Homo-oligomer: A and B are copies of this chain.
Amino acid sequence: MAEGELSTAAVHRLIEKAGAARVGNGAVETLREIIENIAVQISKDAIELASHAGRRTVRAEDIKLASKRFIQT
């Protein structure tokens, strides 16, 4: 599921910020797809949480709670 919303240039910069000496061609596109899929999954969970709280508007608190299962603590 490639959403294709995030810019590859921005994703490339994130990999460089992480400390990569060199970045292969496929690495950027692969990471872009992965984080878009995670973003959509977090959003779907957040929508469900908003609905559970009786709201149609997704708020920051829904995103935070939904993201917990993706975050290492």
Give the B-binding residues of A (Cβ under 8 A). 3, 5-7, 10-11, 13-15, 17-24, 26-27, 29-31, 34-44, 46-47, 56-60, 62-64, 67, 69-72
Contacts and interface: CB of A to CB of B under 8 A. Distances in A.
A31 B22 contact: no
B18 A57 contact: no
How many copies of this kind of chain does the complex include? 2
A18 B43 contact: yes
Contacts of A37: 71
A18 B47 contact: yes
Contact of A15 (B21, B38, B58): B58
Given A58-B20, A58-B24, A31 B40 contact: no
